[in-house]
Amino acid sequence: MKSRGGDDLPEDVCGGFEALKLNWSAEKQLIILIADAPCHGKMFNQLGYSYPDGDPGVLEPEVLISEIFGKGIELFFARLRCIRI
C-alpha cells in the first residue's frame, strides 16, 4: 500500500482493514493497526474532517471490526503520540 492524502487529522482506519481482503493462510491471524489519530467521522471524534460522515468509501469501522472478530483474527490498536522536548 502507498501512503497518500493527509488533508485532515483523522486516519483512514477503514483503509487499514483492507487486510481482510488478503489470503489468510497462517495459523495465527493478527492485524496491528498503528495510527496517530482516530478514524474519519464526527461520530468518532471532534477533529477537523474532510469526511464528516465517516469513511469516504462508505465503510463502517464497527462493521469491519465485527467481521475481523467473526473470522477469528486478533486485532490490536496502537496510538502514536509525538512529544516535543
pLDDT given for residue 76 in this prediction: 92
**Tens digits of residue pLDDT in 4-50:** 666 678 888 888 888 788 887 778 888 898 888 888 888 888 887 78
Q: Where are the domains of the chain?
A: 13-79
Do the beta carbons of residue 81 and residue 36 sit within 8 Å? yes
Task: Report in angstroms the alpha-carbon separations of 69 from 37, 72, 75, 83.
Answer: 22, 5, 8, 33
- Number of other residues whose CB lies within 10 A of the CB of residue 10: 22
Could you say which DSSP state residue 52 is in? T
Question: What is the Cα–Cα distance from 80 to 4, expressed in whole angstroms?
Answer: 18
On whether the pTM is more than 0.85, the answer is: no
